[in-house]
Amino acid sequence: MTITSYCIIRNQQVLTPNETLSLTQPSFDDFLTALYDRLQPNYPRFYKMDNQSKLGFLAAEILLKEYSIQSYKPETVSVVLSNANASLDTDIRFEASTQTVASPSLFVYTLANIVMGEICIRHSIKGENAFFVAPEFNARLMTSYSHQVLNQNKTEVCLAGWVDVLGGQHNVFLYLVENRERGLALPHTATELEKLYRQ
């Protein structure tokens, strides 16, 4: 069971094992659009997503472009995510919309785990999923839960990590854990995860 690869997005910068990409834009919204334009996934649904889903979607695009999970059966791919602010970024926007007419399209994103749904729809993932809200990235919790999921017979690969957004502040750390060895092939331990997250 090893960590295959990762994608970090912070301060309008994308970091993967092979590349560091800065896309500095006047606003976080502009950054998301610039990154989408660069990746060209041709996925109009992106424009309808809230910022948390956009961010998770883009990180997953980068990660899974290089390390495809298409050879896995959809039921064997699991997703385990976590963050600190749940869906607060969108909750605030939705609350503001209720001053006039409440926005239905904002309302559907007022749940922290919607980002997982968007990633699963995009990549046809049908395995187990879980979302934890925690004060900060908890490598021990993530390792322990992903380990448990991967030790069950059904899951062969786990897309895991941290997707947090609030008012333009953003922090994403997505990584792949697989039963087979490829890519970085780092041991799936809390110490390794913490090291990758803190870089």
Partner 1 sequence: MEQLMADLKVQIIEALNLKHLKPEDIGDDQPLFIEGLGLDSIDALELIVLLQQKHNTKIANAQDGPKIFKSVRSIAEYVRANQAAA
Q: Under the rule (CB under 8 A), what is the footprint of partner 1? A: 44, 47-48, 100-101, 103-105, 108
- Within 13 Å and on the Cβ side, how many CA atoms surround 135? 0
Q: Which is nearer to partner 1, 25 or 144 (CB)?
A: 25
Q: Which is nearer to partner 1, 16 or 103 (CB)?
A: 103
Residue type, 121: I
Q: Which is nearer to partner 1, 42 or 153 (CB)?
A: 42
- Minimum Å gap between C-beta 111 and partner 1 is 14
Asked if residue 163 lies in contact with residue 59, where contact means CB atoms within 8 angstroms, the answer is yes
- Minimum Å gap between C-beta 185 and partner 1 is 39
Asked if residue 173 lies in contact with residue 6, where contact means CB atoms within 8 angstroms, the answer is yes
- Minimum Å gap between C-beta 105 and partner 1 is 5
Q: Which is nearer to partner 1, 105 or 151 (CB)?
A: 105
- Minimum Å gap between C-beta 40 and partner 1 is 12
First to last CA, the chain: 22
Concatenated DSSP letters for 84-129? SSTTHHHHHHHHHHTTSS--HHHHTT-STTHHHHHHHHHHT--S-E
